[in-house]
Structures are given as structure tokens and as C-alpha cells.
């Protein structure tokens, strides 16, 4: 249901917050805040709202006595609500950390005739194919710093292999490494930008955030556009992609951005879009004229290989239950 990393399986475990041993009635996948969450099967939304310790919760009823639950969402997909009929793969919400949660993830449950069952059964989980994300991460690190963990932009606070400015880095650490954010001083947190491993981790997370942010606003996704999210921030990338190609960047982004990046002086929106595509080694980007185009009213994303493997595993479990005398 989400392109993420499995962090907890079904069964007894020590609760990470309460500290007591309880039955974990689902499977957890960690993913960046804002990552789209897809319906596992065709069905009807029967609940969408505050689920208490589940945070923002969606329940979907499926044929043959099945129900799936999706917890800790940041928010729900636009145009969905109780009674909405969804197809497998339709976006129903976005990764968050609401309710009783230790960090951004999806808690997913599967019920059969009212009883929680293991969504994966005895099938071995297969890790998701993150090769495309890793390739993009490698490229961003290369063009930002040449791979140097000690790189520093003299015109801004951008530092380290990923060239994160201070404000963005602190937000990312609070979101994705809360255990460090709680225990380290601001100065020590900022110094972690020089750690190549953590810097790469945050570049990867920011790329995924950028993809979710741009998709929601109707933009096509390319490596160059994801790099714009890294370079200008997600809102800055959205503003540039929504502007006419001839719009002056100083008017679109403001003088502070130009001051930090003098090569953008006198440049247009189409220039920086094409520049980003070249940085990522792709063909020139295509600028929309005017505002971002909304071509569909239903949020749908192509299912990932991990989701297809997951769906096959769940289908096998359901079939075994239905065939049991």
C-alpha cells in the first residue's frame, strides 16, 4: 500500500511508546512524510477521521468479509470520504505520524470477518526496489557537492554532501531522526550535515517528499524536477513550474534566492527548469504556460513492484482462509 521500508510485522512485540508487550495487529512501513498511500484492494471507504491512537485513519470494506485499515496518516486524499468507492492502487492518503506514533509510517491492518490477521502470512517479505531513488540520490550528491562531505556554499548556509541549508536540515532531522533531534543540541544536529551517510539519507527522503508534493499539485515528475525541489525547496519548485516560461526568477522566487545563487540573476523560469534537467542528465524540461495543469480529478498512482508482491502475498493468505473448512 505504500512505497516504503517494512519496520514491524504482525504479532507480539514490545510497544515502542507504552513499553508493554502487546499484539501488533498489522504491518508497519516507514516512508517520508507525504508519501502517497494506496488502497490495497477494490472497496468502499467506511471510515475516514480521527482514530484516537491510530491518528488519521481510513477503513475500507472489501468483498468476502475483508477490511483494511490505514493509520497515522498526515491527511486524506482530496475527493475521498465515507462512501467513496476506490480501486486497488488509488491514493487514499499520505504518510504522517499522527496518533500514537514514533515517526512517519503507515500502520496497515487486514481483517477477515472481524478478526485481525497477518497481512503477509508466512510469505517472506521482499524489499522494495529503490534503484531509481538511489540513482537520483547519487546524482544529486554529485552535482551538489562533488561527493564532498565538507562542501560549503559561501553564499548561504548550505553545507555537506547534500548541501542542506540549516532550516531544511533541522526540519528533516525532526521528522526522520527524532531520536537524534531530541538528544542533540542545534549545533550538533547541524554538524551532522558533514556525515555523508546521514546526508545521503536526507537527500533520499527529500526526493520522495518532493515527488509527493509535486504530484499532488498536478506536475509531471522528472529527475530534474525532483532536483528543483532539493535546490529551491518544494514550494519554490512548484512556483517555478507553475509560472510561465518567460517569468523572471527574481519575481517568482524573490531576491534572497537570487542572492544565494548569483548565476540565476536575470534568468527565467524556463532557464532553471532546463538547467535542472541538464544537471540530472536528462533532456530539456517542458514548461507549462500559466498555472499547473490539473488533468485528473481522482488521485491515482501506478502501483510499485513492492505493492504488487505485497498484494500477491495477501491474496494468497485470503485464499487459504477461504479454502479452509
The owner of cell 526568477 is 249
Rounded to whole angstroms, how far apart are CA atoms 85 and 36?
Answer: 18
Q: Return the minimum-mean-pLDDT range out of 3-12, 120-129, 233-242, 275-284.
A: 120-129
- Tell me, yes or no, if the pTM score tops 0.75: no
Cell of 309: 508482491
The owner of cell 532539493 is 230
Q: What is the pLDDT of residues 144-178, one digit of tens each?
A: 888 788 888 887 888 887 888 899 899 888 887 87
What is the average pLDDT value for the chain, to the nearest integer? 81
pLDDT exceeds cutoff 90 at 312: no
Contact 60, 92 (CB under 8 A): yes
pLDDT exceeds cutoff 50 at 192: yes
* pLDDT above 70: percentage of residues in the chain: 78
Q: Return the minimum-mean-pLDDT range out of 48-52, 215-219, 254-258, 269-273.
A: 215-219
pLDDT exceeds cutoff 90 at 7: no
Q: Return the minimum-mean-pLDDT range out of 93-97, 145-149, 166-170, 302-306.
A: 302-306
Angle at 181 between CA 103 and CA 107, to 5 degrees: 5
The pLDDT of 243-254, averaged and rounded, is 96
Query: DSSP per residue over 114-176, as a string?
Result: TEEE-TTTTSPP-----HHHHHHHHHHHHHHHTT-TT-B-TTSS-BTTTTB-HHHHHHHHHHH
Domains of the chain in start order, with CATH, are 5-128+304-322 (2.70.70.10), 131-279 (1.10.530.10)
Farthest CA pair distance, the chain: 74
Amino acid at each position: 500500500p505504500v512505497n516504503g521500508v517494512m519496520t514491524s510485522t504482525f504479532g507480539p512485540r514490545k510497544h515502542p511508546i507504552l513499553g508493554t508487550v502487546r499484539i501488533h495487529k498489522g504491518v508497519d512501513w516507514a516512508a517520508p512524510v507525504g508519501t502517497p498511500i494506496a488502497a490495497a484492494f477494490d472497496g468502499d471507504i467506511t471510515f475516514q477521521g480521527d482514530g484516537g491512537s491510530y491518528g488519521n485513519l481510513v477503513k475500507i470494506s472489501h468483498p468476502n468479509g475483508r477490511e483494511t485499515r490505514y493509520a497515522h496518516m498526515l491527511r486524506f486524499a482530496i475527493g475521498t470520504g465515507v462512501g467513496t468507492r476506490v480501486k486497488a492502487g488509488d491514493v487514499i492518503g499520505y504518510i504522517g505520524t499522527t496518533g500514537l506514533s514514533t515517526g512517519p509510517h503507515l500502520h496497515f491492518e487486514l481483517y477477515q470477518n472481524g478478526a485481525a490477521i497477518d497481512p503477509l502470512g508466512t510469505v517472506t517479505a521482499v524489499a522494495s526496489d529503490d534503484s531509481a531513488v538511489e540513482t537520483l540520490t547519487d546524482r544529486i550528491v554529485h552535482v551538489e557537492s562533488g561527493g564532498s562531505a565538507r562542501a560549503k556554499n559561501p553564499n548561504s548556509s548550505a553545507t555537506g554532501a547534500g548541501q542542506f541549508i540549516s532550516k531544511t536540515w533541522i526540519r528533516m532531522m525532526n521528522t526522520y531522526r527524532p531520536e537524534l533531534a531530541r538528544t542533540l543540541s542545534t549545533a550538533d544536529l547541524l554538524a551532522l550535515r558533514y556525515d555523508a551517510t546521514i546526508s545521503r539519507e536526507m537527500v533520499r527522503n527529500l526526493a520522495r517528499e518532493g515527488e509527493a508534493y509535486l504530484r499532488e499539485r498536478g506536475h509531471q515528475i522528472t529527475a530534474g524536477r525532483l532536483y528543483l525541489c532539493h535546490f529551491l525547496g518544494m514550494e519554490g519548485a512548484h512556483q517555478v513550474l507553475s509560472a510561465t516560461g518567460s517569468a523572471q526568477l527574481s519575481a517568482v522566487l524573490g531576491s534572497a534566492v537570487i542572492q544565494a545563487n548569483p548565476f540565476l540573476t536575470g534568468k527565467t523560469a524556463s532557464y532553471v527548469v532546463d538547467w535542472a534537467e541538464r544537471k540530472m542528465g536528462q533532456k530539456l524540461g517542458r514548461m507549462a504556460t500559466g498555472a499547473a495543469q490539473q488533468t485528473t480529478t481522482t488521485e491515482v498512482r501506478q502501483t510499485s513492484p513492492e505493492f504488487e508482491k505485497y498484494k500477491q502475498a495477501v491474496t494468497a493468505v485470503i485464499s487459504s482462509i477461504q479454502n479452509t473448512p
